[in-house]
Amino acid sequence: MLGAGRGEDSGMERRRGISWHAAGRLLLLAVAAVGVIAFAHSPWCTVREVTVSGNRRVSAGEIKALSGIVTGVNIFEVDTEAAARAVTVHPFLRSARVTRWLPAQIRIEVVERRPWAVISTSDSFLIIDDTGACLDRIDSLEGTDLPFISISGLPAGIAPGDSVPTRAVNAIRACMALLPADVLARVSEFRYQQDLQLLLYTVQGTEIRVGDGERLEEKAALVANFVRMEDTLAGQGTLAYVDLRFKGKPVIRYAEGGQRGE
């Protein structure tokens, strides 16, 4: 009986020890939580600097203004995702990442869109990137060395931030990527028509009918060969067009009505 009593006392003591140990851990956690909350709301966590990187065309000041982030606010109250979305409203900015660098700095990292081509409209020209996003609207081509493209049936009223038809852009971009630099320098215009036909015009005014995207590598090689031989072929008459749309030899038609395969 005495042994049983001592066993019960020992068990109770162990339980008391465990309870005090658990209470101590909870107290430490509570103190730590209070400390974290106090630190998060202390002057140490006030935003004192906003930095911008990755920008070349868009100024850091404009990007900061778009983000809505200002110094003097608590760093944990900054909605980084909302700020990133606000920044990418700018047509020249493809993406943005906003991060906190404790205790007092916000960093904004952006990726800008690159002008890729210029498109003619009824009353102006559009600068677009390689995804078809409209970056700017200009009144003159003066000082512009971008490839010139045209797209039939282009919707009216396209403004910076809008997009042009991606199918047309993708078709032209795929063809451009296969042409050597010396050939591209002698192409004055890429034209995409609603019937999915791609046309090229040389600086001498010859129309090259590429057609759809089938056998594109083969057609690009033929385009390169023709452009490099254009002066020689033009010596035989005024060229009207070269047709590469169908399998077999390309068709070369002269303005006088002559036609032959090569």
What is the spatial distance between Cα 133 and Cα 158, in angstroms, rounded to a whole number? Answer: 10
Q: Among 37-46, 55-64, 147-156, where is mean pLDDT lowest?
A: 37-46
Confidence band of 39 (pLDDT split at 50, 70, 90): very low
Instruction: State the span(s) of the chain assigned CATH 3.10.20.310.
Output: 45-112
Would you identify the CATH topology of the domain 117-261? Rossmann fold (3.40.50)
Residues contacting residue 49 through CB under 8 Å, at least 6 positions apart: 71, 104, 105, 106
Beta strands in 113-197 (DSSP E): 117-120, 125-128, 134-138, 148-151, 187-192
Q: What pLDDT, in 10s, does the model give residues 122-157?
A: 888 999 999 999 999 999 888 888 999 999 988 888
Residue intervals of the chain classified under CATH 3.40.50.11690 are: 117-261
What integer is the mean pLDDT of 111-121? 94
Dihedral sign for Cα 90, 93, 96, 100, please: negative
What is the CATH superfamily name and number for domain 45-112?
membrane protein fhac (3.10.20.310)
Rounded Cα distance between 99 and 96, Å, is 10
